[in-house]
Structure 1
Amino acid sequence: MSEWSREDRYQRYEDVSHEELHQLQEQVSASKYRQIFHIQPQTGLLNDPNGLIYFNGMYYLSHQWFPLGAVHGLKYWFNFTSKDLVHFEPQGPILKPDTIADSHGVYSGSAFEYNQQLYYMYTGNHRDDEWNRHSSQMIAKMNEDGTITKFPKPVISQPPQGYTQHFRDPKVFKHNESYYAIIGAQNEVLNARALIYKSNDIVNWELLGDLTTQLTEFGYMWECPDYFNLDGFDMLLFCPQGIEAQGEKFNNIYQSGYIMGQLDLTTMTMNHGDFIELDHGFDFYAPQTFIDEHGQRILIGWMGLPEINYPTDEDGWAHCFTLPRELTIEQGELKQRPIKALQQLRFNKETALGYANKFTRQLQPYDGTQYELIIDILENEATEIYFELRKNKNCSTLISYNTKTHKLTLDRTDSGLLPEPVMGTTRSTTLDTPLRQLQIFVDTSSIEIFCNDGERVLTSRIFPTEQADGIKVSTESGQVYLQLTKYDLKVGEQ
């Protein structure tokens, strides 16, 4: 990968020639890893989902964007609109680094409604002459014509005393007619924290304090905090940095998960259970949630990770969004399911019913590179079941399930090109109940696996050859009786 100087990383998109931008767009368009039904950057780098909201009959979804290459540099927000969370219309950059407070990047934030108008709260990043970071929280309003007007100065000008400049990613929520912002922070002894501010007019914000949890020394920074109540449970989502791996848990460079319990804004305390990872794959980070048109809580994450180089980098782009997931609490457990509207993408249905064993696949062969595959396990006498996707002689993305331990493993050892550095080639999770169903979405360079109707999810980028399009089922010993339903997927007109 070519080296990027600081000057290269912080050049403005508006200052780059049309010829250079056109060449970059052609390079990206020619990439063999471009996705079909995921949000991805037109050029450059996509990271955190920002400003997700349903407002006045339209969904607004933005992402962190460095337009000029697959590296972190001068950040913008690039915006999409949608009527259904399946078809998306690119609207271009909606927030730009054009004030002193955000001169070195429009960092992450959220959208909210106030007095029937759409607003964004985000972190402005400014660097001084010695390249010291200065973080502040800013607000911008969307006008009726779709243009954006920023408030003339930050509404929270700096971190409170006792905290470092790692102070970012405000998520705004409303409670009892007041507005609150939860912000990721780091104190001066380098412990991660979540700060909560309150406002009655969205201009003047009062610090309520540092949210007290049982996680007093849990990483050095909590990025992208998100608070909401779901089915009577208070949920705090965040991305802790600096957590050591523990067996199956916390094996990525940075983690993403939640605590669930009851939050008391009066005492600034939260009683909660253990921190639980949201996703057990290789590439999931910085999720944000919002309420859809039906009143359901929807989650979208960044299908990527910081400080990792991906095979698409050389093509001038990196990363995409996950598919939208509907969140529910059932019997005290979080469930994540792909939204039903994704069924609009289906065509060319194929089904097969039969046995698979160690020696042969007794099921109708499939192939494909963009599809949804539903595997129903009807009877299982096998010790271990193997599902190989995007397979040919040289490539295979392997999902295995051990009947005795209920451990499900995603193995990308032979899936094709790998990101660098390689953070291992397997990810595992132990299911709460025996495996009965997998719902798998495969795009050109990604896989999202939903286990047991939303009990677990594993999300990863994969980079196989274009010829790797086979599907195979087998077992270690014994046999399994399955029904496979496959739909090819494509994005049509709205």
Structure 2
Amino acid sequence: MMDFRTDREKQLMKEAEAVVQRHSQVVKADPNRLTYHLMPPVGLLNDPNGLIYYKGVYHVFFQWNPFATEHGAKFWGHYTTTDLVTWKLEPIALAPSEWFEKNGCYSGSAIEKDGEMFLFYTGNVKDENNNRETFQCVAVSNDGFSFQKKGPVVTLPECYTAHFRDPKVWEKNGKWYMVVGAQSLHGEGEVALFSSLDLENWKFHGSIAGSKMNGLDEFGYMWECPDLFSLDGADVLIVSPQGLNADGFLYNNLYQSGYFIGKLDEIEATYEHGSFTELDRGFDFYAPQTMLDDEGRRILIGWMGVPEENEEDHPTIQHQWIHCMTLPRKLELKEGKLYQTPVEELKKLRKEQSLNEKIEVCSDKVQLPSVKGAAIELVIQDIQGEFESFEISFGDACRFVYDANERLATLERKRFKEDSFESRTCKLDSLESLQIYKDTSSIELFLNEGQEVFSARVFGTVDDQSIAFAADGGGRFKLSIWCLSSSTIKR
């Protein structure tokens, strides 16, 4: 393995590793540490980067500040897996060591060409007055672990502010394309398109989507983390717009993540699309990215967090870390809507089945069997009858409710700092099935085979890992619960 790192990069990596070692016992002692989700070894984790299936291995890079639980000059951390279940934390992939990235190796993507892995990322630079410069950069590896930085390949077009970042690159018909999240000079979020024949020289084609484009009204002041791919005959644009106002049950987080379904014309450099749909209805979901694996599956992983939203109140900060990733999700397009389901491999997490029963409910509210578990998977299927409501409580800090009369699905959780509850709600015509992954301090709910998803961090009483069920009305359903393995992340 050839070492391309400069002395400055080696020094930064050494300093980061020293911080990991210094705080390792404090981090491990946190009762909120997750068991089967990807987390930082110390410090702050945010966007997933460079998702790629390369030489038989899944690589997931991530934005990482090892020196604090606040946002700062980001590194690229690195996890690998061969089965999407057992993960290994690898040495740091990128450190902000060069002039074109000195204030952070920001988000980006990975592709394979002629057996080599290329990382495209944003180099963030700020001067003494906090004025920003931005460069789209590339680093190359022949093994997926040691990277040689080639420097900037795309500079800032004149029609955007320096909020121009997060390149996602793909190949089609022998040509390479790149989308970049952008802010226009008028302060509106957009997505810029580039093309290249050699990954070095890039042609700018202008904006293909954004606020006040393609039939949209004002739609945010910045669009981050674009991801454009073909799925089931359509072209899907995933993006994370900032600056949307709450609208009823929609856009209730500080920043949002969602998608458009449309058609990209690479020749004319246009993208016609429909309306925007949120990907996740929960409290904590942002900056998702997808990859295509060797089975042809489109797999999504998101950051289970939102920038600048209650980050200072996370109790894990006391233990020198913050944030995690979602579980890997398979994407499918059904009748113009993206469905997200946990990848099949996650069944390998199942350690033992603690419950497998058919539950009968009469007219009055009935307390169903209670179970305990910090790491569990719960599946409800074959729902029959006329339920008026359906409730599942997770300890003292989280509750899911489906109101059949109002046709509303709601996730409630205890606020991180105040002794009160907050909620997120979506319309749902019927509840047909429910799959839940509960980890020590997180929850992911998949409704109706992934028609809607709720993701959230949940911090309750640490020793209260009980799960309770209740329902109004008459009916029956099948309930299965598994305890899940807690030894899936290796260092």
Shift in Å, 1:257: 0.0
The question of whether the paired residues in 1 share the 8 Å contact of 2:16 and 2:66 is answered with no
Matching of residue 367 in structure 1 with residue 364 in structure 2: no
- Equivalent in the alignment of 2:177: 180
Shift in Å, 1:92: 2.2
Q: After superposition, what is the alpha-carbon deviation per residue over 1:378-402, rounded to whole angstroms, capped at 9, x for unaligned?
A: 323232221112x2xxx14111111
Separation (CA, whole Å) in 2 of partners of 1:150 and 1:383: 59
- Equivalent in the alignment of 2:336: 332
Separation (CA, whole Å) in 2 of partners of 1:338 and 1:284: 15
Go from structure 1 to structure 2 and tell me whether the alpha carbon gap of 1:444 and 1:470 turns closer, same or farther (over 3 Å shift). Answer: same
Separation (CA, whole Å) in 2 of partners of 1:422 and 1:156: 48
The question of whether the paired residues in 2 share the 8 Å contact of 1:396 and 1:468 is answered with no
Separation (CA, whole Å) in 2 of partners of 1:17 and 1:268: 44
Shift in Å, 1:142: 1.1
Go from structure 1 to structure 2 and tell me whether the alpha carbon gap of 1:98 and 1:420 turns closer, same or farther (over 3 Å shift). Answer: farther
Which amino acid counterpart does residue 470 of structure 1 have in structure 2?
A: S
Q: After superposition, what is the alpha-carbon deviation per residue over 1:29-74, rounded to whole angstroms, capped at 9, x for unaligned?
A: 1111000000000000000000100011111111000002211011
- Equivalent in the alignment of 1:169: 166
The question of whether the paired residues in 1 share the 8 Å contact of 2:397 and 2:459 is answered with no
Separation (CA, whole Å) in 2 of partners of 1:89 and 1:430: 39
Separation (CA, whole Å) in 1 of partners of 2:73 and 2:263: 38
Matching of residue 461 in structure 1 with residue 457 in structure 2: yes
Secondary structure, in 3 states, of the residue corresponding to 1:22?
helix
Within 5 Å, give how 1:27-106 maps onto structure 2. 27-106=26-105
Which amino acid counterpart does residue 165 of structure 1 have in structure 2?
A: A
Which amino acid counterpart does residue 170 of structure 1 have in structure 2?
A: P
Matching of residue 284 in structure 1 with residue 285 in structure 2: yes
Within 5 Å, give how 1:264-413 maps onto structure 2. 264-308=265-309, 309=311, 310-349=314-353, 350-356=355-361, 361=366, 363-389=368-394, 391=395, 395-413=396-414
Separation (CA, whole Å) in 2 of partners of 1:478 and 1:16: 56
Q: After superposition, what is the alpha-carbon deviation per residue over 1:427-472, rounded to whole angstroms, capped at 9, x for unaligned?
A: 01112x4101100000000000000011110000001122222222
Secondary structure, in 3 states, of the residue corresponding to 1:94?
coil
Secondary structure, in 3 states, of the residue corresponding to 2:139?
strand
Separation (CA, whole Å) in 1 of partners of 2:160 and 2:336: 35
The question of whether the paired residues in 2 share the 8 Å contact of 1:69 and 1:313 is answered with no
* RMSD between aligned residues: 2.1
The question of whether the paired residues in 2 share the 8 Å contact of 1:377 and 1:435 is answered with no
Which amino acid counterpart does residue 172 of structure 1 have in structure 2?
A: V
Separation (CA, whole Å) in 1 of partners of 2:144 and 2:199: 22
Shift in Å, 1:145: 7.8
- Equivalent in the alignment of 1:478: 473
Shift in Å, 1:293: 2.1
The question of whether the paired residues in 1 share the 8 Å contact of 2:102 and 2:124 is answered with yes
The question of whether the paired residues in 2 share the 8 Å contact of 1:143 and 1:149 is answered with no
Secondary structure, in 3 states, of the residue corresponding to 2:40?
coil
- Equivalent in the alignment of 2:7: none
Q: Is there any run of 5+ residues in structure 1 with no aligned partner, and where? A: 1-10
Separation (CA, whole Å) in 1 of partners of 2:416 and 2:92: 28
| TM-score normalised by structure 2 residue count | 0.92
- Equivalent in the alignment of 1:6: none
The question of whether the paired residues in 2 share the 8 Å contact of 1:355 and 1:362 is answered with no
Q: Is there any run of 5+ residues in structure 2 with no aligned partner, and where? A: 1-10
Shift in Å, 1:268: 2.4
The question of whether the paired residues in 2 share the 8 Å contact of 1:46 and 1:318 is answered with yes
Which amino acid counterpart does residue 455 of structure 1 have in structure 2?
A: Q
| TM-score normalised by structure 1 residue count | 0.91
The question of whether the paired residues in 1 share the 8 Å contact of 2:47 and 2:62 is answered with yes
Secondary structure, in 3 states, of the residue corresponding to 2:346?
helix
Go from structure 1 to structure 2 and tell me whether the alpha carbon gap of 1:168 and 1:423 turns closer, same or farther (over 3 Å shift). Answer: farther
